[in-house]
Structure 1
């Protein structure tokens, strides 16, 4: 297929921050968060602009923007089709640049900058073809998907042949694809259970969400007083009903001992998972915790920075749900690599949505249609929807399939 050339003329950055009010976005660690994005804009001669971003919580966001300046030399002047035909190698060069590697590697400010640049490349690629990102991705051949990936340091788990075999053997039929696109992708509501909400507000928000068609909800836990969390969890269960799926998220607040103690107090609540119970670098603690609280399941990934650590978690057997986030790892490319590994280990992908679901509404469709992941649900957080040019839309609790070209990353 021939496409009009789109040469990247310039890479620009922007530091965008949004203050949240009335307890929105609060958790046990981040009591008064500020949602912020280090934005990368890729301009072209034909007026198409690729927009990508990485998420922070405000403080230091300007440092990620500065790091984008270091990476732009790898992509400026490149034609987008040519760039993406070998993007895996470009990604490897950016993430392993010798003079920047000491600042990581593959984590922290430089890796967040890489996410922003990578996501801008994918957005520009889809826009240059005039299609939404999900359409671009599902139309790629297995070999074309392979070309955008960097499998270094994970080859013992996922090989080039594995990538091709997984896609070739799992790609759904046109009839099945049409059915998925008609239905959309189920969402779950995080905005019903923020940490600083009063019990009364949580009860009202859950009822409101049920009326909107949601059947799954997340509650933020990690209080100094565990009894507060237990009571609130019972409140959500009683309000949402026995058939609802309820997830509990501690945002890394607990020690191993505290996590065990809390999980032992959850009789009757039947949580679908317990999320980020302790420090994200402590893989062995998660292994011990998964054994101690079985049959309760652990979800993690929001603060796992790269494919190598995801590989280790998958190998450990402690991860029951994979929450990789394309604005926290190295962007869409690394997200796909992580998703392929997760498929090989038969671990469901349920992304964390630091992007408010804008990019991930595309990626979960690709996961389901091209990689054969089960369709579970995708987190929904509505607080920034008025700032996006094409905000994620939900109807009766389901994400509606975006139709506009690109990755839905444009701000107004």
Structure 2
């Protein structure tokens, strides 16, 4: 690592036409084209790091531009300086006086994820293993504790990690043998017909899945019918979660879920605006007597909103997203707050590269922090994995730990050639035959 310098950062707009089959459709996002801003960090030693942040098609170009703007703060930096003072470096790029938050914070995730991938590749370890092997002091040194010390301090975080250290070897052995449990959302996209839902329920049960999620929120009558279809397919002994993707008012969420309570959902995900901490708290208070938890986090903008959701008992399940807040450093802070406040983390995944990334984070949590799979499960969606050089491995509905160095974020060259937007071969073909309109030159 000594003498290694970041010489160039390349950013690409990569999109996949998932809207053609309604893959990923929900009450809020009816026609998503799963996409990402894809970052490649190049060094003078030939080692590269790859990172991304997930998007839904239109507007990806804005995130790409933000990544390029952040890149100007990084090119020319010595790699050793980044990783030896990662928390300070993270604060530098998230608190630059003229460049803060919003889309910029989303772009930060792509760049920071690429830096962690680079670090793991330098150390020749998969990211989960790199995180596990860091001492408590080293790991905590990567986290910016500004704004969250009223919940957890740097020293508290170190002590929590030290208290789990003796169990890490046995937990690692268990992880390698058994993996971590997954649930599938593949059966529950809103645009799917009832027949397709039945077919997918059967398919995923045969693959060993016993936990399923369905999208709800557009029409109550349709939700009742679709939940009934899924329950008939999976029976009463398997878990069902519901996801409204932010479409309801607070009172509406409570009443809607009372109508769906008979299907015994484990949780309702994103019942209202992801920024409404008190609204989530009210919904959670009303639904707990019905045995329904509240889950949210995939659209949380930063660790501070997570802090407030946890403090207010507004969520029963904390859903970190590997590409939403500012990369691994900020996500580690959320895991530590959730640990202290005794809220299980169940990562959101399913978009481009999200499954590939969150598995590493949850595996670190299992080995170094929580030590349990009780009430902890990782979302799985069977899409876009074929585009990655090191895709997830699912065995009997469990994520098996990656062994290839890095954050599992490198997209195949052929996929970039075909799906970089708008110049990719597949996009040019679809423009030519009129499946999608060709973007204007402006």
Normalising by the residue count of structure 2, what TM-score does the alignment of the two structures yield?
Answer: 0.89
Name the CA shift for 1:339/1:167 in 2 (closer, same or farther; >3 Å). same
Whether the 8 Å CA contact 2:347–2:377 is kept in 1: the answer is no
| Structure 2: runs of 5 or more not aligned | 413-442
Residue 187 (str. 1) matches residue 182 (str. 2): yes
| TM-aligned CA distance change 1:122 to 1:304, over 3 Å | same
Q: Does the CA contact (< 8 Å) of 2:86 and 2:143 recur in 1?
A: yes
- What is the match of residue 220 of structure 1? 215
**Alignment partner of 1:98: what SS?**
coil
Number of the residue aligned with 1:264: 258
Q: Residue 315 of structure 2 aligns to a residue in which SS?
A: coil
1:283 corresponds to: 277
Q: Report whether the alignment pairs 1:329 with 2:328.
A: no
State the alpha-carbon separation in 2 of the partners of residues 45 and 182 from structure 1. 38
**Structure 1: how far apart are the matches of 2:148 and 2:314?**
18
2:385 is aligned with 1:365? no
2:440 corresponding residue in structure 1: none
Residues 271-304 of structure 1 show CA distances to partners (whole Å, capped at 9, x for unaligned) of: 1110001111111111111122223110000111
Paired residue for 1:23?
22
Q: CA deviation at 1:6?
A: 3.5
Shift of 1:70: 2.0
Q: Which residue of 1 aligns with 2:241?
A: 247
Tell me by how many angstroms 1:406 deviates: 0.2
In the TM superposition, what is the alpha-carbon distance from 1:257 to its structure 2 partner?
A: 2.2
Q: Which residue of 2 aligns with 1:308?
A: 304
Cross-structure match for 1:393: 393
Give the 4+ runs in structure 1 shifted more than 4 A.
none
Task: Give the aligned partner of residue 46 of structure 1.
Answer: 45
How far apart are the structure 2 equivalents of 1:246 and 1:373? 24
**Shift in Å, 1:73:** 3.2
Q: Does the 8 A contact of 1:84 with 1:147 survive in 2? A: no
Note if contact 2:175-2:401 (Cα within 8 Å) is conserved in structure 1: no
CA distance in 1: counterparts of 2:44 and 2:319, whole angstroms: 37
Equivalent residue for 1:344?
A: 340
Unmatched tracts of structure 1, length 5 or more: none
Residue 294 of structure 1 aligns to a residue in which SS?
helix
Shift, 1:385, TM fit: 1.0
1:4 positional shift:
6.4
Partner Cα distance (1:371, 1:37) in 2: 30
What residue is the counterpart of 2:97 in the other structure? 98
Whether the aligned pair in 2 keeps the contact of 1:127 and 1:406 (CA below 8 Å) is: yes
- Confirm whether residue 380 of structure 1 aligns to residue 380 of structure 2: yes
CA contact (8 A) 2:321 2:354 kept: no
Aligned to 1:141: 135
Quote the residue 2:429 is aligned against: none
3-state SS of 1:222 partner: coil
The aligned length equals 404
SS, match of residue 50 in structure 1: strand
Give the conservation status (yes or no) of the 8 Å contact 1:18–1:36.
yes
1:319 matched residue in structure 2: 315
Q: Residues 250-271 of structure 1, C-alpha deviation per residue, up to 9 Å, x if partnerless? A: 0011112221111111243111
Q: 2:168 and 2:387 mapped to 1: Cα distance?
A: 36
DSSP 3-state at the match of 2:50: strand
- Per the TM alignment, residue 176 of structure 1 is displaced from its structure 2 partner at its CA by 2.8
3-state SS of the aligned residue for 2:348? Answer: coil
Name the SS for the 2:213 alignment partner. strand
Using the alignment, how far apart are the partners of 1:309 and 1:356 within structure 2? 21
Query: Counterpart of 1:231?
Result: 225
Deviates more, 1:372-381 or 1:206-215: 372-381
Map of 1:197 onto structure 2: 192
TM-score when scaled to structure 1?
A: 0.95
Following superposition, the deviation at residue 373 of structure 1 comes to 5.3
RMSD between superposed Cα atoms in Å = 1.3
1:93-125 deviation line (CA, Å, top 9, x unaligned): 111111113xx3xxx210011101100000000
Kept in 1, the 8 Å contact 2:108–2:327? The answer is yes
